[in-house]
Structure 1
Amino acid sequence: MSDNYVLKTYHKFLSLPFGRKLFSWYSARRAPYFATISPLITDLRPNRCEVQFRKRKKVQNHIGTAHVIAICNGLEMAMGFMCEASIPKHLRWIPKSMAVEYPAKAPTDIRCVAQVPENAWQPGNLEVEVKAYDTSDNVVVEGSITVWVSEKTKR
């Protein structure tokens, strides 16, 4: 198992009953804005994270589909956890920008995926591919989140 603190914590929670739900609840409380979508982190490994959320009234828009801002929240959460679970210890990251398109309506629960290639972790701009799917695996939002990767300062 990895010595990454996020992955260690995730795997500890997975050993408990309802571990994914508990980890997701714990994680969303540490970054309160993520709690607005009541996320469930369903897959977390180096270079990939999946976050799901249910289409409930609080995440719907005026036409009854999942609101794109709620979906972007899920995409940003997936990106952040993927980064924290993946980045080498000598590097740090910070989000810089997000560019997304909405190819389809989001009529169901949503699955958000963020991923990068294994060799992506170099100083400079890193484009993280993000996609959101409905329950029929149709892409409802897709794009990228740019993160700035830099060397940690020596202390």
Structure 2
Amino acid sequence: MAMSNYLLHLYQKTLKLPFGRQLFSMMFARKAPYFRTIRPTIRELRPNYCELTFKKRKSVENHIGTVHAIALCNGLEMAMGALAEASIPKHLRWIPKGMNVQYTAKANSDIRIIAETSPEAWVCGDLPVAVTGFRSDGTPVITGEIIIYISEKPVKADR
């Protein structure tokens, strides 16, 4: 599956280039402009798993100097989106349906986000994708799930 998936193919191709992770991450972040606000780097991408990081800096901080909740959610959504695009079977499509998160600790450092799901989960209906954000000391700062709706792609009519 790895090479038949366009996103995994692009990821592997860019990893061979200087600054390949950064290049791939910038390209993927263009899919939704708000992803770029956190300046993420996708560290690992494979079917059913995505890990990304972003730095704590002034533009993602809130009034108390920790990483803002929306910046954290942007990271969660980007990791889930990359996982979904890298994992979904070709005959299916997905769309976000909901997000449930809990803020579990102060996000006072750089952030690492993980999104993961099981290979068996890719069937029509609701799919909850587990998402977690961690401080640099390994403490979870945000946990939750993003629910995506999976459906069959419409059959294209012959012309």
2:65 corresponds in structure 1 to 64
State the Cα distance separating 1:32 from its structure 2 match. Answer: 1.3
- Say yes or no: does 1:151 pair with 2:142: no
Corresponding residue SS for 2:30: helix
Aligned residues: CA RMSD: 0.8
Task: Give the alignment's TM-score, normalised by structure 2.
Answer: 0.95
User: Is there any run of 5+ residues in structure 2 with no aligned partner, and where?
Assistant: none
State the Cα distance separating 1:2 from its structure 2 match. Answer: 2.4
Residue deviations 1:88-143 (CA, integer Å, cap 9, x gap): 00000000000000110001000111110111100000000000001011000000
Corresponding residue SS for 2:133: strand
State the Cα distance separating 1:28 from its structure 2 match. Answer: 1.4
Q: Which runs of 4+ in 1 moved over 4 A?
A: none
> In 1, Cα distance between the equivalents of 2:101 and 2:3?
32
> In 1, Cα distance between the equivalents of 2:123 and 2:82?
18
Task: Give the alignment's TM-score, normalised by structure 1.
Answer: 0.98
1:84 corresponds in structure 2 to 85
Corresponding residue SS for 1:77: helix
User: Is there any run of 5+ residues in structure 1 with no aligned partner, and where?
Assistant: none
2:12 corresponds in structure 1 to 11
How many residue pairs were aligned? 155
Matched ranges for 1:6-45 at <5 A: 6-45=7-46
> In 2, Cα distance between the equivalents of 1:117 and 1:7?
17
State the Cα distance separating 1:29 from its structure 2 match. Answer: 2.4
